[in-house]
Every structure is written in C-alpha cells, then in structure tokens.
A = this chain, B = another copy of it.
Amino acid sequence: MKQEITIIDIARKAGVSTATVSRVLNGTGKVRENTRRKVEAAVRELDYQPNIVAKNLSTARSNVIGVLVSDVRNPFYANIFVECEMYANEKGFSLLLYNFLDSESLERRCYDMLLAQRVCAIVHIGGSVDRMDNNAEFVKKIEEVSRRVPVVTSAQVNGTQSRCVQVNNERCMRKLMEYLLGLGHKRIALAGGRENVRSTWEKRKCYQEMLKRQGIEYGNYYIAESGAYNEQGGYLAMREILKKDPLPTAVIAVSDLVAVGVVHAIKEKGLEIGKDISVASFDNTYIAEIMEPELTSVGNDYCLLGRRIIDMVLGMMDGKECQDWDELPVLIEERESCK
C-alpha cells in the first residue's frame, strides 16, 4: 500500500520535534499556542492518522477491550454487546468480540487470543462463568488472566481477581412472580434451562421461595428442564409440563427464546395463550415483542448494564478497588400474554 505518514513527517513539516507533536496530539504538557497551531496545520494538510498500535506499545497500554460472549446471534448478548460498544467508543475504547459458541475449549483459546492481542481488559458474559460447577481448569485460567488484566464477568468467579456485573435474577423472578400471583394465578410452571447454570438455578430458587411464602405447596411438580436455551428446548420442556394434571394456569420461561418454544407447544395443544395459559419470560429482547401474542417479559435496562460493565472495566484499569455489582434496575414489560 502507501507509505504511512508518521509523527516525524508532521514534526518536519511543522518545524518542531516529534516530542512536541506528541504533546499537541495528546494535549499533554505545555505548548505555545503558536506552535500548536503549526502542528495542527501540518496534521490537517498531511491527513495524518496517529498509529494507535505504536502508541499502545510505547505506553504499554491498549485501548481495546476484549469481549467474550457465547453467541451474539442471541439477542440477549447482542443487546449487551451493542450497549457496551457505544459507551466504550464514547470513552475512546474499541471492542474485540469473540463468540465461543458453547465450546469450553474455544472459550479458553479465546483468552489466549485476547492476551496475545494485549487487550486492556476482558469482559466475559455467559458460558463457563455462568456455570454452577465452575470447572477447576477454567477457574485457574481466569485466576491467572485476572492477575494480568482486569476481567469483568457476568457472575462471580470465586478465588480470582475478577469482578462481576450481575443481572439480578432473583429480583427479576420476584417481580415476575408478584405480577402473576397478583393476577390470581395459583399454579405457575417454570420451563427451560439447566440447573447447573447459575442464572437458571437462581431463578428456580426464588421461584420456589415465592411459592412457599404464598403457602402454595406443589414442590417441583411444575418445573421442567430443557437441555438447550433455545426454541427447541422450550418446546420440549413445555410438552412435559402439558402432561401435568391439573395444568398450570401460567408458565414462566427462562428466556424469550425458550418462550418461543413454550408458546408453540401450547398452541399446538389447542390452548390459547393469555386465556388458558399465561406465558411470561426473561430478557425482554425484541423477540418478546414480535411474538404473537406479545410476551410479558422481565429484563434489564441494557443501556445501563452496558455502562456499568464498561465503567467497571475502566475503574479496574485505573487500579481502583471495585465491588461486584448487582443493583441493576429490573424492568417488567406487561404485554398480552398474561391475563
């Protein structure tokens, strides 16, 4: 390609030293107004683009944050990513995204790629961090990595330097249950997820506590797991629930995607959503809006979540003592699927 314009060209053109150019460019140190103008003129004339790579090497910093999610095709992760990105860009950082697609080995390799890339921090959402039984190898990896660079996750990984910004599943579930109980529902089912996934486990725990407090006692009768967190999983889980007698009057799906399958199963049986059975779910992504009927869903303020994550990253980079965070507001969007 073409010869790159460097700080040296600017210095020459402006008749100053490279140090001065650097000062002007970064606004560090004192520079006489006149000199500054000369430099700025040269920058404009030569259409100079600073080389961030060289800058990063020189300062032993980086302005690239690595982001690890299981799959951006899932709107939940896409929401988080986009919000993080907008805020990070605003702060002068860029995001290097990796999808590990449910592969634990890929997940670990991603860490190596990010380290080699010398990212200034790592954000890791979902996957292994959300597993109850954090496997030892994974924790060891995070432990090592988090000593070298700030790591922010979506759930606590004990015994490491990482910090988390957590979606409060318990409060989400409470909100959902209060809503459904308030509507008069007595038999509420819980569909989807796996118990070894922390978020699912938390939802389930809260669900059971809420029922107990209401004096409702059918234990796990209306709980159905699903292997996968997708439509198929929701469909199969709901089929199990539809075998129960009496049928529940409402069902909570652990995510919007799972709810899609739940809805299919219900309609297939000839029952009407919102009339025979109410359906509510987690995440409040656009999936909930495009379903028919539209789904009541409880989710996060993704914009705020993104900001919290990036603020945490920035704080840790500055060496601040950061506390785990799980005080995000919970939003419930009441739609037609619940009566």
A residues contacting B by CB (< 8 A) are 1-2, 4, 49-54, 56-57, 60, 62, 64, 71-73, 75, 78-79, 81-82, 85-86, 89, 94-99, 101, 112-113, 115-118, 147-149, 231, 260, 263-264, 267, 286-287, 289-290, 292
A149 contact from B1, B289, B290, Cβ within 8 A: B1
Contacting pair A53 B51 (CB below 8 A): no
A73→B85 CA distance, assembly (Å): 12
Contacting pair A72 B82 (CB below 8 A): yes
A61→B89 CA distance, assembly (Å): 24
A171→B79 CA distance, assembly (Å): 32
A60→B75 CA distance, assembly (Å): 37
Q: Which residue of B has the minimal Cβ distance to A231? A: B290
A82 contact from B2, B54, B73, Cβ within 8 A: B73
Chain B residues within an 8 Å CB radius of A52: 116-118
A288→B62 CA distance, assembly (Å): 41
A236→B12 CA distance, assembly (Å): 60
Given contacts A53-B56, A286-B73, contact A94 B82 (CB under 8 A): no
A-B CB contact pairs (8 Å), 20 listed: A51-B57, A51-B116, A53-B56, A53-B57, A57-B57, A64-B96, A64-B117, A72-B72, A72-B78, A72-B81, A73-B79, A75-B75, A78-B78, A82-B101, A89-B113, A94-B98, A94-B117, A95-B96, A96-B97, A231-B290
A1→B61 CA distance, assembly (Å): 11
Chain B residues within an 8 Å CB radius of A75: 73, 75
A9→B133 CA distance, assembly (Å): 37
Q: Choose among A64, A260, A286 the residue with the greatest number of B CB atoms under 10 Å from its CB.
A: A286
Given contacts A57-B57, A99-B82, A147-B1, contact A50 B292 (CB under 8 A): no
Contacting pair B85 A118 (CB below 8 A): no
Chain B residues within an 8 Å CB radius of A260: 290
Chain B residues within an 8 Å CB radius of A1: 147-149
Contacting pair B292 A264 (CB below 8 A): yes
Contacting pair B148 A2 (CB below 8 A): yes
Chain B residues within an 8 Å CB radius of A89: 98, 113
Chain B residues within an 8 Å CB radius of A99: 82, 85-86
A86→B149 CA distance, assembly (Å): 25
Nearest CB in chain B: distance from A274 CB, A: 14
A75→B264 CA distance, assembly (Å): 21
Contacting pair B73 A118 (CB below 8 A): no
Contacting pair B62 A53 (CB below 8 A): yes
**10 interchain residue pairs of minimum CB distance:** A73-B78, A260-B290, A52-B116, A53-B118, A97-B97, A49-B115, A72-B78, A1-B148, A53-B57, A57-B57
